[in-house]
Structure 1
Amino acid sequence: MTYLITAKEVQSVLTYPLSLKTVEAAFKAYGQGKACLPPKSYLIFKDGDLRSMPAYINTPGMNIAGIKSVNVHPDNHKKFGLPTVMATILLTDPKNGFNIAVLDGTHITNMRTGAAGGVATKYLSRSNSKVMALVGAGAQACTQLHHIMLTRNLKEVRVHTRSEKSMIKFCREMSKEYPEVTFLPEPDGRKACRGADIVTTTTTTRKPIIRKSWIDPGTHINGIGADAAGKQELETSLTKSCKIVIDEWQQASHSGEINVPISRGNLEKKDIYAELGEIIAGKKKGRTSDNEITLFDSTGLAIQDVSTAYVVYQALMKKRKKPKHIKLF
């Protein structure tokens, strides 16, 4: 039988600590050579795109394969009342190729992306980091914050975005969840970033919005927003000044924060310090100085999706009331 797992069922078991733990383990497996990750492929449409993301992970307790199909259609909400991003994940048993589950992947995508930022912050930011600048105030900003709060004891979060209403709303809502943290709406990007220990960017911009002069020595940057060719959140001179850690070379060079500098000849592969999995696996060190500026370029890997979908599947199989299932043949 193949189980059909809805977004509501995913949300019932996928907590922030679980997603953080799972994604960290997935990156480690990849760094150890225990995961197979072909590059994501793109179908480009007039109004958006469709991405195909397969992966196989083989570690003790996690021998699973799968593929995620995910779209990005920026005008969906306005035109059709649909989310910009929608995803479906198919889990496959490597022993026989049987499809054990089909899951809504939209919430998983949001959670595993936030978890990647949390994991990178754990290994690359200063352990005593207290102040974060959060550039963007959408759904991904929320999951980045929740996962980073599991790894660092933040005392102040400065929220910067073009919409004053969004900044204020985000700060008001997050203040209720973290009353010990001061949330400040900051319409000036420079003021938001200056003096911050961590800068996390979650925008869809194609023109750099974060300047080199805004970033102090010792800052860690999570570059989350760039996920397609042509997208870039950081000034190229800033990116070049960082110790650059990527999730995976082929994806990052095609569609990550480094894609524009790479395509223009301003960066080369030799300028990349490491993949995050190499650091978690102990093959390379993470932060080595309080003064270095570190950058994590996150494009989102299928190993994050498949591993997170699998722990969701496992958790639901332990429940008395199982999800719906179908017999496909």
Structure 2
Amino acid sequence: METFVLDDSEVAEHAHTPALVSAVEDAFAAYATGAVEMPAKSYVEPDAYGGDFRSMPAYVDADGWDAAGVKWVSVYPDNPEAHGLPTVLGLVIYSDPATGFPLAVMDGTELTMRRTGAAAAVATDHLAVDDATSMGIVGAGVQSYAQLEAVSTVRPIGEVVVSDPDDERVDRFVEAFEDEFTVRSGDVGAAAACDVLSTVTPVEDPIVTAADLGERTHVNAVGADAPGKRELADGVVEAAKLVIDDHEQCTHSGEINVPWTEGTLDAADVHGELGEIVTGRLDGRVSADGVTVFDSTGLAIQDVAAARIVYEAARDDGADAYDFLS
């Protein structure tokens, strides 16, 4: 058997967005029905270097397919200045569940970016109004691209408003998509008033208020990934139909971590997990809903589901592979 070794450009080439969205939706359904194994994220912290390693293993037994793998991520804040390297580096090992054979080793940074966009698309498909045609994005970093590419596969997005204090990043984003969408820069309020909003910033002080949002905006809150971070004011999450990807992760380090810790938000304020909506156990958007919010922290099952899509596309496209056992 052969093993594919795929760099970031090869992951991007084979990460076909509609297939990723479908696979991530399947993974959420499997999670809701207990058909996954996903141990808690583990940490290794070498004190001498000021960084840490994180391992995220998972097995998914979805309807019609199964997959296994692990993501190995390092977070070293001093890397850019001290070593000329990115702060976050990651690899995904994708394995054959039947034999344990490593079918692929692939760049985890590109894969994470794309599966995160796919998760937002799944949430948007179940929680946004059917005729959503406008999308706002707060934060014009790399994740903003994946958000638009994925969300536009589930809704007929035509108009895009992007908000970021860095004008150069906004210009790059506009240039990248101006042939596909009517895209322009705008302030946070203009972005938040759209039918769909994705927030992808690392802030700790909320930047989106309830007054900013449209009456029926769906929000994908993606940026919060550590205790203390949040992008949405308390009034947004308290009043919205609130959906999370995982209770433990969201209350610890997701968008709702601060109001949850402070006691201004509790279980009664959470509609449920996205997997429960995907499987029909809970309703998604109904006619009476106003603002909806999806708190996205990212799950290892999404990485494994996305890795399967990338591996199978690379294999079917005849990408170069290596004889692992030679």
Scaled by the length of structure 2, the TM-score of the pair is 0.91
Provide the residue aligned with 2:325 in structure 1.
327
Provide the residue aligned with 2:167 in structure 1.
164
Change (3 A) 1:291 1:279: closer
Taking the aligned partners of 2:200 and 2:271, their CA distance within structure 1 comes to: 22
**Aligned with 1:119: secondary structure?**
helix
| AA of the residue aligned to 2:43 | Y
Q: How far off its partner does 1:269 sit?
A: 2.4
Provide the residue aligned with 2:28 in structure 1.
27
Q: How far off its partner does 1:321 sit?
A: 4.9
Provide the residue aligned with 1:103 in structure 2.
106
- 1:197 correspondence with 2:195: yes
Provide the residue aligned with 1:220 in structure 2.
218
**Aligned with 1:292: secondary structure?**
coil
Change (3 A) 1:189 1:156: same
Taking the aligned partners of 2:158 and 2:67, their CA distance within structure 1 comes to: 39
Taking the aligned partners of 1:75 and 1:119, their CA distance within structure 2 comes to: 35
| AA of the residue aligned to 1:72 | V
| AA of the residue aligned to 2:56 | M
Taking the aligned partners of 1:59 and 1:213, their CA distance within structure 2 comes to: 40
Q: How far off its partner does 1:74 sit?
A: 4.4
Deviations 1:81-117 (A, max 9, x none): 2223221112233334444432222211111001111
Scaled by the length of structure 1, the TM-score of the pair is 0.91
- 1:39 correspondence with 2:40: yes
**Aligned with 2:137: secondary structure?**
strand
Q: 2:262 aligns with which of 257, 261, 264?
A: 264
Provide the residue aligned with 1:300 in structure 2.
298
The answer to whether the Cα contact below 8 Å between 2:6 and 2:104 also exists between their aligned partners in 1 is: no
Change (3 A) 1:320 1:200: closer
**Aligned with 1:133: secondary structure?**
strand
Provide the residue aligned with 1:173 in structure 2.
176
Paired positions, count: 323
Q: How far off its partner does 1:325 sit?
A: 3.5
| AA of the residue aligned to 1:108 | L
The answer to whether the Cα contact below 8 Å between 1:217 and 1:291 also exists between their aligned partners in 2 is: no
- 1:152 correspondence with 2:155: yes
Change (3 A) 1:169 1:314: closer
**Gapped regions of structure 1 (runs ≥ 5):** none
Provide the residue aligned with 1:10 in structure 2.
11
**Aligned with 1:158: secondary structure?**
strand
Change (3 A) 1:291 1:59: closer
Taking the aligned partners of 2:91 and 2:135, their CA distance within structure 1 comes to: 32
- 1:140 correspondence with 2:138: no
The answer to whether the Cα contact below 8 Å between 2:103 and 2:311 also exists between their aligned partners in 1 is: no
Change (3 A) 1:12 1:199: closer
**Aligned with 1:226: secondary structure?**
coil
| AA of the residue aligned to 2:159 | E
Provide the residue aligned with 2:250 in structure 1.
252
